[in-house]
Amino acid sequence: MTTRPNPRRGFTLMETVIAIGVLAVLLTAFLAVFGPATAGIRRAISAQEADRLSSALEKELATLRPNETYSGASGSKGTAFDKAFDWIKNGADSNTKPLQGTILIYQYRADPTKMREDGTLSAYASASSGIAGSDYVIQSGVRRREDSKNPKNKEYLQEDLKALEGRVFAIRTTQLVYQSGGGLGLGTPGTIKDPKPGGSGGGDSASYPEAVIAFSAEFYGIPSTAYQYITGSGFEKSTLKNPIFTRNLAARR
C-alpha cells in the first residue's frame, strides 16, 4: 500500500496582505507611543552633555595651573581670576588674532599614574588596549587653540587628541553687560569693561571694578578632530557658524 505525503498548505496572498497590514498598524502605534519618549531621552542626554561641558569650562577658568602666569593685581603669577579675564576677553574674534584664543574642550583617555607640569593627567599612550577605570580614566580637557601663557599647550593638546574619546568642541566667549533698557546683553567681542550702563573699558583684570565677569559661551562642534586641522589654517571663522548651544556663565574673584 502506497502512502501519499500530505501536501503542505502555504499562506495565501490575502493572508499575507492582512499580516502586513496588521504589522504596519502595530508599528505605527509603537512609534506613536514610544517616539516622543525616545526623543525626550535624546534631549536629556544632550542637556546632560551641555551641563558637563559648561561645568568643565567654569572649573578650568577657576584653576590657575602651575606653569601659567597671568598679569594681575595679585602677585607675579596672577590668580585664577586673572586667567579667566584673559580667556574670556580673548575667547572671541578680534581683527588682529581671529580665533587664536578659541577655547577647545574634549574628553580623552588619561593615565591616572602620570601627571604633567600643568597639573593635568598625561594621555594614555596605548589607543588599542587597556581597561577603563584601571589602566586609564576618562578626563575632560580644556585648552586654548593657541596659548602663549602655556608654552607646552600644543604638545599636550596633540597628545590628548591621540587618546580622544568623542568629539572636540570649540567655545567662543563674550562678556555680558547691562543694557540701557535693563537686563544683560552681549558686549563687544574681545573687550571686557565695567558691565554697568555707560561703563568704561577695563584694560586688565586689576582695573576691572566688579567681583564677577558674566559671559556668554557659545559651543560649536568641530568637523575634524585632527591636530593639523584644529591648529592649522583650515580652522577659520567659517568653521564656527552656528553654535550647538549657548550658556550664560560667570567667573568670580
pLDDT for residue 208 is more than 50: yes
Q: What is the mean pLDDT of the chain?
A: 81
The pLDDT score that the predictor gives to residue 9 is 60
**pLDDT top residue among 130 and 36:** 130
pLDDT for residue 162 is more than 50: yes
Please give the model's pTM, rounded to 2 decimal places.
Answer: 0.77
Round to whole Å and give the CA distance between 159 and 153: 10
Pairing outcome for strands 169-178 and 137-144: unpaired
C-alpha cell at 64: 590657575
pLDDT for residue 241 is more than 90: no
Mean pLDDT of the 70-79 span: 71
pLDDT for residue 4 is more than 70: no
Percent of the chain scoring above 70 in pLDDT: 79
Mean pLDDT of the 197-220 span: 85
Mean pLDDT of the 188-204 span: 81
